[in-house]
Structure 1
Amino acid sequence: MHVVRIEFEWGYAMFFDHTKIYVKAGKGGDGSRHFRREKFAPSGGPDGGDGGRGGSVYFVATSRLNTLIDYRYKQQFNAEAGEGGARQKMHGAKGKDIVLKVPCGTVIRDAETSELIADLVESGQRVMVARGGRGGLGNVHFVTSTHQAPHEAQKGEPGQELWVTLELRLIADVGLVGYPNAGKSTLLSVVTAAQPKIANYPFTTLIPNLGVVEIGHARQGDGYDFVLADIPGLIEGAAQGVGLGHEFLRHVQRTRLLIHMLDGASLERDPWEDFEKINQELSEYDEQLGKRPQIVVLNKMDLPEAQERWPALKEKAEAAGYPTFAISAAAHQGTTELMQFVGDRLREIRQEEEEQAAAQVISLEQGTVLRPQPDDAFTVTKDGEIYVVRGKLVERAVNMTDQESEEGMDRLQVTLSKMGVIKALEDAGVHAGDIVRFGKVELFWGE
């Protein structure tokens, strides 16, 4: 086993691993109602151009960041609106996109629904979270054989807007878990080049630390390496947020394998009881996390108390099906053998994951059919006395209609009729004078 320089540096910057921010895409530019009025064409036809699409909001993962601190003080981001159309069928310019950089391992969710939007694991991965609104059509698009001079033009579509939560989960192959002062940080400092703060009192570690363990000569092609994370000490009640439980449990979720460190020299607690309590916390926080493969490690074997406890603990752990090791991280006893076993077990787990992934691909190829909801689908519900219509194309049609334009409102009525919205509202019991809400737009239902 070779020690390799740590590849992840937190430095002295604050470790900030979750936040909530507001993002808003740009509104599409309005279409133009312009008519040609030139010297030799005083009564020219319509030549209004289309509006430009609004800018969108993207997130991109980068390995150059390791904290979400950039989003602590600025929490609102607005993309640029598209420009309006102009004469001579000129299109408005597209609004500028916003690209927000986040560390690899960032999970993005809709703050209102908790729906997963993206899980950005690899550097360069990119996702659009708010799409810019479409530009409105100019009046040149509404010319017909019977209507040569339309004054109708579409408004730009509003851009999507939402609150999102950003949650950073460390990307580590192996996690070190256990009660405070069990020796996790000491082990990390011994088997990697990480330099965590170490002292003989609880909660020395207040942020996760990462290090790289190299087995053999990974960089020369005849070995391999893996990332080891020291997760700050968990305590009873961590799954319910006691102490800093929720702050740290999320960082265990990406690990493939756990090293469960037990304090063999503690005079206040029984190591096996500690093991069972921490596992209960893991299961309560995430059922799948409780099933994660574990290696039980009794630390501080250079002390008589640990040596006395070792036989009974080894018997219990092996009876429960856990590989078990006795080490002294401070004295460097048994650490090389432990890391060798961890590396071998990790390779087995990776092989199992690859086989499962291949099986899923075969299953999909054998006939799994995905049926996403069509864009023209809509629903009609009631919110008190207000009828609420929800649907992608329905809301877009209403949002892009100029309510001050009689031609535009006539066209909207025809569109809603063709989509079946009018019939659906009538079936739901709408009457003249009722309010109908389409997205953020409210209209009175006429005769």
Structure 2
Amino acid sequence: MTEATDPAILTPVLSAPWDDMQPWRLDTYLKHDGYQGLKKALAKHQDEVIQTVKDAGLRGRGGAGFPTGMKWGFIPQGDGKPHYLVVNADESEPGTCKDIPLMYANPHVLIEGVIIAAYAIRSNHAFIYLRGEVVPVLRRLQEAVKEAYAAGYLGENVLGSGFDLELTVHAGAGAYICGEETALLDSLEGRRGQPRLRPPFPAVEGLYASPTCVNNVESIASVPAIMHKGVEWFRSFGSEKSPGFTLYSLSGHVKRPGQYEAPLGVTLRQLLDLAGGVREGHRIKFWTPGGSSTPMFTDEHLDVPLDYEGVGAAGSMLGTKALQIFDETVCVVRAVLRWTEFYAHESCGKCTPCREGTYWLVQILERLEKGEGTEADLETLLDVADNINGKSFCALGDGAASPIFSSLKYFRDEYVEHLAHRGCPFDPAASTVWASNLTGAQA
């Protein structure tokens, strides 16, 4: 958590033990009612656990916001096949940094959530797919799993319930595409990570061609508190259609970047108050509500409720709640170019719209950034983005198109200005606009 502690806004639940000494240890977690939710879950029938999560209204915290309990309910029962639970911990969306610190500071809340979820869907083997680059998190998570096995929370006959569960922590090789659930499953099986054609969906034919539930880290980590404190307690946070609490990641031009755990529906204006506001002498220009793959907002959207309905109604997506804040010194065209380069690099190349489209988006944006393009290129840019959006194998294509559409919607004049100045007007070597912007902001 951050230093801000306004009780009217912040709701430390997942982050409650973060300020303790060694919060990652089992004994610290037990002091914060650790594994109490598991004990209550094991006393219920599996279907009752699923219904509890449905009644709580928990929605997936990985981006799409799909109801978690409903996703669990899709797993067919009595089919004679093994069932698998897979936690998507391959956090790689630009600007997103909530799952990694959560696992690093409080890994047992994820492990407890995994056990409850696996029990509910009748799975005896669960996997946590983690980005391989974050070695300190990998080691800490592995150590926490060892503690859970030693304490009887994992393995055979969990807490004497007759339920058996094996938990495997798997380190990925570092590919953005493996954050897509079917590409993740292919990678977990030892193949190249590429999205699968659906149907069949993972709930029917997922890992090893068996029914599989794939959930985000924060989604699973929210379950223990629901089981322990109840549906009404959970629904007392957030809004009617987007209940609960969540981690908002503030980064960029703010005084105190970090993780802010607050109810869904909080606004960026409120979060900025906690984060100390935009850096001194500057003003907010544009920001992302859910990472670079979500349409950008401007300072006109500071009071948009940051829940699934509020952000959607305003023309974007809540996504991973990665709030990247940019002030007036940042060139929109350059920022969009950097994001697009990332998507072009991370495209798996399986489908033509994404493979070819992201390449051409980069070429056009580079010309525009250098001032070598024409106004016709702006229409071409929109046309290429339209040929990617909704037409690629997975959501990577949609994510690449989003900043194109939204930046031209709100900052078309800035693109045109690049053409008029024959270069980026924010480049001190090419124009005086940079200096005038700074002077105006400080006046």
Is the shorter-chain TM-score for this pair beyond 0.5, marking a shared fold? no
**Which of structures 1 and 2 has the bigger CA Rg?**
1
* TM band (smaller chain): under 0.3
| Structure number having the greater strand percentage | 1
Q: Where is the helix percentage greater, Structure 1 or Structure 2?
A: 2
